[in-house]
Amino acid sequence: MLRRNRTAGFVRTTLAVAIHVTAICVTAAGWAHRPPPDEDWWRGLDEPATAAATRATVVLRARIRGRVRIPGGTFVMGASPAEMVSAIDLCRAEIRGSECGEGESIGRLHSEGATHVVTVSTFELDRTEVTVADYSRCVAAGECEPADFSRVDPRFARPELPVSHVGWEDGARYCRWAGGRLPTEAEWEYAARGADQREFPWGNLYNPHLANHGAWADDPADATDGFVYLAPVGSFTDGATPLGIQDMAGNVAEWVADEVEADSFGRPSAYEPSTQPQVDPRTNASAGIHVLRGGSFMDPAVWLRASARDTTALPRPSWAGFRCAADPH
């Protein structure tokens, strides 16, 4: 399913269906680690925050929600053939799983290869995705453009949600203002999978109750994780990495710093095999594209894997956000 074909119709699931699905999830046995749904999501919604309040004479800088220091190390970046086979198995478990052998899914998996050894220096990474409230402070300071929230759907503008409807440049500007930068692809993948080569941020087995995910179906919204659309940041504490970094899978897909070449279908070009280990790689192609990592609330399990990559032709997607990295002080 091409991201550029997604429309606002994907997020028009009815209230009655959402409440019915949520009720089933809450009563199902064995789902103790799934967070409860946020009832305020459905009622008492504020108007969308197309602009931040500017009445205060003093604008505070962004509140750092906690950055985690990630010790440098070496890992294998990309997906091995065995990991790609496992990914296809995950894909085939979806409602539209019969399509997993077709060009779109195979091509996107191919963009994860080939595996190569990468060493990453110590860096810091935000514990959570940047929230709407955090981003609004940058807007109020005059350093960021307002997120492109739709006036007909204010749910995305809730302050505790990850900011969405932002593009790569929006993320880069915010991170500079907050005293950081966007993470490189290598840093992001190393933080998500670690030196032990986890397939998901929490481990090697997929658990649908550890991330805010979607489904590969005619309607990609999926409430079985407790949220039909976005979830407040940090809602899935059991899905964090061993270092406590949250929402590396699902919720919003996250922009990373690198600019890469695209193939003829607009996907990130596959990594080229490297005979020499790389140290702190960062690609910068003058005619390239920017990559998204981690998958979103509209993505099934196969695209929530730590090695999965994506891109889009949309300038400010409804399902894209970011978190910031920083060099150690």
Question: Which pLDDT belongs to residue 22?
Answer: 40
Question: Is the distance from CB of 204 to CB of 168 less than 8 angstroms?
Answer: no
The CA distance from 80 to 102, in Å, is 19
Question: Which pLDDT belongs to residue 104?
Answer: 67
Question: Which pLDDT belongs to residue 109?
Answer: 84
Tell me: the pLDDT tens digits for 115-133?
A: 999 999 999 999 999 999 9
Question: Which pLDDT belongs to residue 29?
Answer: 38
Q: Count, in order, helices (H) and strands (E) of the chain.
A: 6, 10
Q: Enumerate residues 6+ apart whose C-beta is below 8 A from 127.
A: 65, 66, 67, 68, 234, 244, 245, 246
- DSSP SS3 for 11: helix
Question: Which pLDDT belongs to residue 231?
Answer: 97
CATH superfamily of 66-326: paralog of FGE (formylglycine-generating enzyme) (3.90.1580.10)
Local confidence band at 282 (pLDDT 50, 70, 90 cut-offs): confident
Tell me: the pLDDT tens digits for 222-270?
A: 999 999 999 999 999 999 999 999 999 999 999 999 888 887 777 788 8
Q: Tell me the pLDDT of the chain averaged across its residues.
A: 81
Q: Is the sign of the CA dihedral 242, 248, 249, 250 positive or negative?
A: positive
Whether the per-residue pLDDT at 31 is higher than 70: the answer is no
Q: What is the mean pLDDT of residues 199-227?
A: 92
Whether the per-residue pLDDT at 19 is higher than 50: the answer is no
- DSSP SS3 for 169: helix
Tell me: the pLDDT tens digits for 84-118?
A: 889 989 988 887 788 786 666 677 888 898 899 99
Q: What is the mean pLDDT of residues 15-32?
A: 38
Q: What is the mean pLDDT of residues 163-168?
A: 97
Question: Is the distance from CB of 219 to CB of 13 less than 8 angstroms?
Answer: yes
Whether the per-residue pLDDT at 318 is higher than 60: the answer is yes
Q: Enumerate residues 6+ apart whose C-beta is below 8 A from 329.
A: none
Question: Which pLDDT belongs to residue 74?
Answer: 96
Whether the per-residue pLDDT at 285 is higher than 80: the answer is no
What are the boundaries of each domain within the chain? Answer: 66-326
